[in-house]
Structure 1
C-alpha cells in the first residue's frame, strides 16, 4: 500500500426537483432519469479514476449535487461497495450525503443509512417560510424541521446549511435564527453568506434593482455575530463558513482545504490527483455519452504548474482556522510556504493583527478572516 495520504471521493448527482434562483452549481431538472443506466455509468467513471490512484487509502466519500437524496439507496450502496473495493477504507471512513427536506422522507433516510451513509448534510437554508420562498426552496420550515428530526434519529452525524446575509436580514433576525439553529444540537453547521452568482436568476433581479442585499456594514456585523454565537455554543468556525464541535469537522472537506488528492466523478465533477486537475463533462447527457464511448466522463486532465498549485493551496488553506501548515504546504504545492509568500506584506499584516505566523505556518486571525480575499492578494508572492 502507498505511503501517500488518503484520498477522498466526490460523487456528483446533477439532478434537482427545481433550480434555485441563487444556485450556479451544475444542477439540472429532468422529467425522468434512467436509474440503472446512471448507476452503471457512475461505477464505470469510478473504476477509471481509481485505476489512476492505485494503492491508496480512502478517507471519505461525499455524495453532492444537485440533490443526491434523489438517488436510489441501492445506487448509493453500489458506489460505496465499489469504492471500498478499489481503495482500502480508513477505519473511520466518513460517508456524507447531501439531502433536501422536500425530496426525502424517513424510509429513504433509513435506506441511505443501510447503504453505509454515516453523515447527512441537510439543505435547510432558512428557518423562515418567507425566506424559503424568496430562495426558491421547494420546502417549508415544517418540512425542514421534520426532516431534521428524522435525520438526527437515523444518522450519527448530521449537519445542516443556512444562508445568511439575505435580503431584508437584520442583525436581530439573524441572531434569533442562528440561536434557533444552534438549539437543534447538531454537531456541524454550514453558514454561508448569500452571494450573487453570474448567470443566476438572482443576478438578473439584482441588476434590475429588484433584489436589495444588506449593506457592507450589516454584512460584516452578521459575520461577526455568526462567529461569536457559534463559538459561545461550542461549535466554533474551523473554516470561514463551517462550524463544528471538536472532532466533528467534515473530514471530506478538510481534504479539499488542505489541498489533498480527491477523485471527482459524475457530471461536472472536479478532482485533484498527483498534481493533475481533472474535470468531467458538465451536461448529464454529454457525460453519459462519454462514459458509453470511453468508459469515463472526462472532459479534461491538466497537469498543474507549481505556480498554479501554489495559488490553489494558498486559496484553500487560508480559509481554515488552522491556516497553512508549512510541511503540508511544501508537499502539496511543490514549493515552500516561505517562497510562496511576500515577506514584507506578511510582516505588515502581522503587525496589523490580521495574520499570525510562527514556525509551523501562517493563519488568519479573527480580525483577518472577513478580509481573507484581500489578504490573500497581498501576501501571495
Structure 2
C-alpha cells in the first residue's frame, strides 16, 4: 500500500532549491566519478530547449513554491553559454517566486577561457561561483589531470572575486606523498585569498575511475589512516582559526556564508533536479533523471521531461536519509522533526545504547531531541553513522 507524502509542514516551510546538471567537460579527470562526459559537439540550442522543458515539468509538479537557490553543477557548467544560464534562471524565477536574496551558484573551471565569461554570467543572474582550483601546486594539478596551472587558476580566482558577490573554491588534499607541512603551507596560502567559503576534500579512490585502476596496480598510494587524520585535523584547526570553521564535514565558511543550496540537501528539504542524472526530493518522492546525456535528451524529446525515476520513498527511508545527511552538519539534527518525517519515534530512528556509548566517548552530543557529532567525532563520521542510525 503506498505511503503518504511527508506532511507539508515539514517541507514547504523552507524555500525550494533547484539543481541544474550540465554533463559536459573538456576532459575527464582521473579521480572523478561524477556524471560527466566528453563530447566533440554539443547542440547548444537543443540543450537549452531540453533543459527548459525538463524545468517546466518540475515546476508543474511543485506549484506555488518559493525559490531559495539555483545551483548549476556538472560536468563543467561554465562551458554553458551564458544565454542558456540566463534562460534557465529567467524561467525558474517565473515559475517560482524567488527569495529576495536568492543564491545562484555556478561551478566553474579556473581556465582563462571560462573566466572570460564571468561578466556575462553575472549579467545572466549568477551571484556565486564555485571554482575547481583543486590544488595550488603545478605538479599536483598535473597528477589530478587538471588543464590549468597555478598561475592560470589564480588569475581566474582574481577575475571571479572582481565579478561575483560570493566566491568559493575547491581543493583536494591527502594526495599521494603529501606531507602535513606541505598541506599546511598550501592551505595557509588558500586562506590568504579571502574567499568566504572553501570546499576541502580528501582524495578518495572511487570505483570506475582511472585512479582506481592505478591504485589497483599499486601505482597510486594515498596517505594511510593516521596521516589522513593528521591532515583532516590540521584542516579543521586552520580554517577555524581563520574564521572559516567547518559547518559540514568538508565545507568551511564564514558565519552566514554557508552554501544555502547545499544546506537544503543536508537539512533534508525539497529540491528539484533537472538535466542528465540529476536527483531530486519532492514531497516524499525521490526523482532521478536519465544519466547518459543522449538518453536524457531522447526522453525529453519523447515525454517533455527527462525523469527516469519518480518513486515514493517509505517514511523509514526518508528518516534514514535525513539522519545520514543531517549528521554531516556541525549544527546536528532535530530528532523530533526527523521522527515526523519518518512517521516513527526517536527510539526507532537511532540505536540509543550505541549513541550513549559514543556520547560517553566524546564523539556524539545530545540534548533532548537534538543530536550532533562532536569535533572529535567528525574524524570518525563514516564509522559512527552505521553504529547510531537504525536501518532495520
Could you state the TM-score of these two structures normalised by the residue count of structure 1? 0.98
Q: Does structure 1 residue 196 correspond to structure 2 residue 198?
A: no
Q: Does structure 1 residue 23 correspond to structure 2 residue 71?
A: no
Aligned equivalent of 1:309: 318
> 1:191-270 alignment to 2 at 5 Å?
191-270=200-279
Q: Is the 8 A contact 2:339 2:349 kept in 1?
A: no
The more displaced of 99-108 and 136-145 is: 99-108
Secondary structure at the aligned position of 2:207 is classed as coil
Q: Does structure 1 residue 361 correspond to structure 2 residue 370?
A: yes
Aligned equivalent of 2:164: 155
Q: Is the 8 A contact 2:332 2:370 kept in 1?
A: yes
Secondary structure at the aligned position of 1:124 is classed as strand
Structure 2 unaligned runs (5+)? Answer: 1-7
| Count of aligned positions | 381
Let me know the Cα RMSD of the aligned residues: 1.4
Q: Does structure 1 residue 121 correspond to structure 2 residue 127?
A: no
Could you state the TM-score of these two structures normalised by the residue count of structure 2? 0.95
Q: CA deviation at 1:338?
A: 4.0
- Which of 111, 116, 138 is the matching residue for 2:120? 111
The more displaced of 142-151 and 365-374 is: 365-374
Secondary structure at the aligned position of 1:198 is classed as coil
Q: CA deviation at 1:336?
A: 4.1
Q: Does structure 1 residue 8 correspond to structure 2 residue 17?
A: yes
Q: CA deviation at 1:314?
A: 1.2
After superposition, the C-alpha distances for 1:67-104 in whole angstroms (9 at most, x for unaligned) are 00000001000000000111111111000000001264
Q: Is the 8 A contact 1:70 1:103 kept in 2?
A: no
Q: CA deviation at 1:359?
A: 2.5
After superposition, the C-alpha distances for 1:291-316 in whole angstroms (9 at most, x for unaligned) are 00000001111111122112211110
Structure 1 unaligned runs (5+)? Answer: none
Q: Is the 8 A contact 2:132 2:171 kept in 1?
A: yes
C-alpha distance in structure 1 between counterparts of 2:113 and 2:65, whole Å: 33
Aligned equivalent of 1:41: 50
Aligned equivalent of 1:50: 59
Q: Is the 8 A contact 2:77 2:106 kept in 1?
A: yes
Aligned equivalent of 2:380: 371
C-alpha distance in structure 2 between counterparts of 1:109 and 1:245, whole Å: 23
Q: Does structure 1 residue 132 correspond to structure 2 residue 145?
A: no
Secondary structure at the aligned position of 2:117 is classed as helix
Structure 1 residues 333, 138: closer, same or farther in 2, change over 3 A? farther
Secondary structure at the aligned position of 1:62 is classed as strand
The more displaced of 351-360 and 159-168 is: 351-360
Secondary structure at the aligned position of 1:210 is classed as coil
- Which of 292, 305, 328 is the matching residue for 1:319? 328
Secondary structure at the aligned position of 2:187 is classed as helix
C-alpha distance in structure 1 between counterparts of 2:345 and 2:55, whole Å: 33
Q: CA deviation at 1:175?
A: 0.3
Secondary structure at the aligned position of 1:367 is classed as helix
Aligned equivalent of 1:102: 111
